[in-house]
Amino acid sequence: CIGARTAVVATINNIPVAPTASNDTLCGPGSAVLTAVPAENCNCQWFNANNVEITTGVSDDSRSLTTGNLSQNTSYRVHSVNTNTNCTSEYTEIQVVVAPVPGAPTVSNNARCGEGDITLTATPGSNANTCRWYNANSELVHEGTSYEIQDLASTTSFTCKSYNDITGCESSANNSRTAIATIYPIPAQPTVQGNNPICGSGSLTLTGTPAAEATICRWINGNDTTTNNILSTGNLTETTT
């Protein structure tokens, strides 16, 4: 005997699309916060590289995962789970790269006389390929191993850090270095004594007194230069400057 029929509906639900997510880079060991955007009407479900579900560190809306402390590159997986049908998407894999922290740079100071352009140079430390320069307000003012400062009017210090422009990692504050661009004042004219006229040929002893910003006098006669506060001219036969 056959009883009354009961209709049975076989429902085919759509498989959600995989969530979107981005890889992350840590500078040295630490914890990462990973974020994923699931398909519409879906939550995220997180797994480690061995496909073991992760529940610790998952946010209430399931869209982010705070990892434990990582000391090496680590992979995670996340998929969309439809809250109505419980259907799951393909996995999206997320890679956390633990990059080394750059070492301290080597910097060179520089100096010039009077206001003008001056260049500071640096060599990046280990695990870095360039340098970053910061002013006294900790503002990034330049990136590169050579920093030309234009129209500098007074002595100024800059902080230099090693930087890796591939990993985005920068040396720590303890591994930063200070580079000084020194502006020396241009000395005023010296006073000179002993430049009295002589009758006929003869020699003079000239005495120079350097200005307050200077320490010694420099005597220039054509291509000849003498650095001393006292100059014996030798025998002169004509007026000489």
The per-residue pLDDT for range 106-127, each reduced to its tens digit, is 999 999 999 999 999 999 999 9
CA distance 92 to 81: 12
What pLDDT, on a 0 to 100 scale, did the predictor assign at position 219? 83
| Rounded (5°) CA angle 10-90-74 | 150
**Which residues are paired to 158 by β-bridges?**
179
What pLDDT, on a 0 to 100 scale, did the predictor assign at position 223? 78
What pLDDT, on a 0 to 100 scale, did the predictor assign at position 66? 96
CA distance 241 to 224: 12
CA distance 194 to 103: 59
Stretches in the chain below the pLDDT threshold 50: none
Q: Which two tokens stand for residue 62?
A: 């399931």
- CB-based burial of residue 153 (10 Å sphere; 0-12 exposed, 13-18 middle, 19+ buried)? exposed
